[in-house]
Amino acid sequence: MHQPLFRALWIATVISNIGTWMHDAGAGWLMTSLSEKPILVALVQAATTLPMFLFALPGGALADIVDRRRLLVLAQIWSLLCAGALALLTLAGLTGPLVLLAFTFAMATGAALSAPAFQAIVPELVPRPLLPQAVALNSLGINIARAVGPALGGFIIAAAGTPAVFALNAISVLGVMLVLLRWKRQAAPPTLPAERFLGALRAGARYARHSPALKTVLIRSVGFFLFASALWAFVPIIARRELGVGAAGYGALLGCMGGGAIIGAMLLPRLHGRISSNSLTVGASLLFALASLGLSQVRALWAAALVLALAGMAWIAVLSSFNVAAQTAVPTWVKARALAVNLLVFQGSMAAGSTVWGWLAGHIGIPATLMLAAAGLVLALGLALRWRIAGDMAGNLAPSMHWPAPVMVAEGATDRGPVMITVEYCIDPAQATAFTAAMQRLRQIRHRDGAISWGLYQDAGDPGRMMESFVLESWLEHLRQHERVTHADREDQALVHAFHRGPEPPRVRHLIAP
C-alpha cells in the first residue's frame, strides 16, 4: 500500500504487538512457575482482557473528543513504563502472582484506552477507497504478531528467562511512539463544540442500545467469545502438565495457533465471495468447538499443534467477520465509541469466561471443562437464526444532511434545553396501524441519535392526525442530531412520509423549555 504514514505505523504496530504477545506468553508461563492453581493461571488471561471491558468505552469517548494522536502517545508511554518496571522486578526476583497480575492489568489498561483510537485513525491515514485494504492489513498484522510473538517469546524464555521477554516488550513500544510523534495530524475543524466526556459516554452507549445492526454483532460476540475463552485460558497449563513441554514448546504451540490464523486470513477473501458472513461464522464456530473438544483429549504434541492451528483458522474467521460487521454498522461520528463497545463486549466475554472456566476446572478438571465449553459453542449457534451477520445490515451511513437548518431566534444560546421536537402527520385513519409500525424504526433512530424520550399520539377528535414528539437535552444536541442523520435514515423517513396525506410536508415545531 503506497501510503507511507500508514505503512510506517503498520510496521511499528506489528512489532509492538509481537512484544505484547511475547509478554502474554511470558506471563502465562511465569504464572505456572509461581503457582499451579488453575484459577491463577486463568486469571492471567482475565487480567489481559478485563481492562478492555472496563476502559474501552471511556477510551472510545476520549478518542472522539480529544486529539487522538496525543492520546495514543500517552498510552504508549504508559505501556513503556509498566513493561520496563515489570522486567526490573522480575529480574530482581520480586514478582509474585499478585505483582504479575497487577502489571499485566496495568499494561492492558493502556491498550484498552488506545485501542478505539487506533481503529478510528485508519480513515485519516488512507483514502476512503483504500479503507477495506487497510482494515484487512491491520487484521493480517495482528495475526502475524499472534504467530510470531508467542513462539519467539517461548524461545527467549528458554534462552534468557522471562525478564528478557518483559524488557523486549518495553522496547517494542518505541517504534509506535516515534511514528506518532512524527505524524503531523490535521484534523478537520469541527462545526459544533466538542462533546463533553460524560455526554460522549452516554451517546456511545445509547447508540449501541438503539442500533439493531450493532446490537446483532454484540449479541453474537457474547455467544462465541464467552465459550471460546476456555481454550485460550488453558493452553499454558495443558502445555506444561499434559504435554510436558518447556517454554519453547509452549511458544511453538501458540505459534501454531497464530499460523493457523494467518492461513485463515489468506483464505477469507475467497470464502467471502462464496458463502455469506453468517454461514462463515457458523462454520468457524463449529470448527472452534471441535478444536476445544480435541484439545481436551490430546496427549501428543503434534496433535495439540494441529488442533490449535485449526482453532486459529476458526478464530480469525469469526473475529474478522464480526469486526467487519461492526465497522460497517456505525457512522463516522460515533465510530470510536461504537467500536469501543464492541471491544468491551469481546474482552469482557473473554475475561468473564476465563474466570468462570478457571474456577470450574478446579472442581471438575480441565478436560471436562473444555468439553462443556465446546457444547456451549454449539448451543450458542442458535443465535445465528435470529441475529444474522451481514455486511450491509445498516445501509448507507454517510451523512445525508437533508434536514432543513432549524431556526432559533436567540443566537448562540446552544446550551438551552431541554428541547421538544414535534412532527405532525395527516394520514388515512385506516392506515393508522401500518403507520404506527413504520414509526417504530424512526423511534429507534431518534433515540440512537440523542433523544431522551419519544412518543406518538393520535388526535382524539381527528383519528387521521398523528403527532410525533421527542425530547433532547439541549439545542446543541438537536444541532448534532441534524449532522448525524444518514442516507439510511432518510430512506426510513421516506417510508413514514409516504403515509402523509396533507397538502404540505409534515409540520415540524421546535419547543425549548423557558
331: pLDDT confidence band, cut at 50, 70 and 90? confident
Check residues 456 and 395 and name the one with the higher pLDDT. Answer: 456
- Mean pLDDT, the chain, integer: 85
Which three three-digit cell numbers place residue 66? 480529544
- Above 90 in pLDDT, residue 436? yes
Least confident of 135-149, 194-208, 226-240, 330-344: 135-149
Q: Which residue has the higher pLDDT, 320 or 222?
A: 222
In this prediction the pTM is 0.77
**Residue 102: is its pLDDT beyond 70?**
yes
How high is the pLDDT of residue 431? Answer: 92
- What mean pLDDT do residues 207-225 have? 91
Domain 419-512, second-level architecture: 2-Layer Sandwich (3.30)
Give the model confidence (pLDDT) of 348-406 as tens digits.
888 788 889 988 988 898 899 999 999 999 999 998 888 888 766 777 777 787 788 77
Sequence letter at residue 468 = E
Helix (H, G, I), strand (E, B) or coil at 467: strand
Least confident of 58-62, 97-101, 193-197, 331-335: 193-197
Provide the pLDDT confidence category of residue 47 given band limits of 50, 70 and 90: confident
Q: What is the pLDDT of residue 437?
A: 93
* pLDDT above 70 (res 221): yes
154-155-158 Cα angle (round to 5) = 90
- In angstroms, the CA 217 to CA 210 distance is 13
* 184: alpha, beta or left? (left if phi > 0; alpha if psi -120 to 50): beta
Under the banding of pLDDT at 50, 70 and 90, the label for residue 218 is very high
CA 104, CA 82: separation in Å to the nearest integer? Answer: 9
- Predicted local confidence at residue 12, as pLDDT: 92
What span, in angstroms and rounded, lies between the C-alpha atoms of 410 and 263?
Answer: 61
Q: What does DSSP assign to residue 23?
A: H
Instruction: Please list the residue range(s) of the chain that carry CATH number 3.30.70.100.
Output: 419-512
Residue ranges, CATH 1.20.1250.20, the chain: 4-184+197-386
The CATH code belonging to domain 4-184+197-386 is 1.20.1250.20
Of residues 76 and 321, which shows the higher confidence score? 76
* Stretch 229-241: mean pLDDT: 86
**How far apart, in whole angstroms, are the C-alpha atoms of residue 179 and residue 122?**
14
pLDDT of 132 > 60? The answer is: no
Q: Which of 353, 384, 434 is nearest to 46 (CA)?
A: 353
Q: Which segment of 234-238, 248-252, 278-282, 294-298 scores lowest on mean pLDDT? A: 248-252
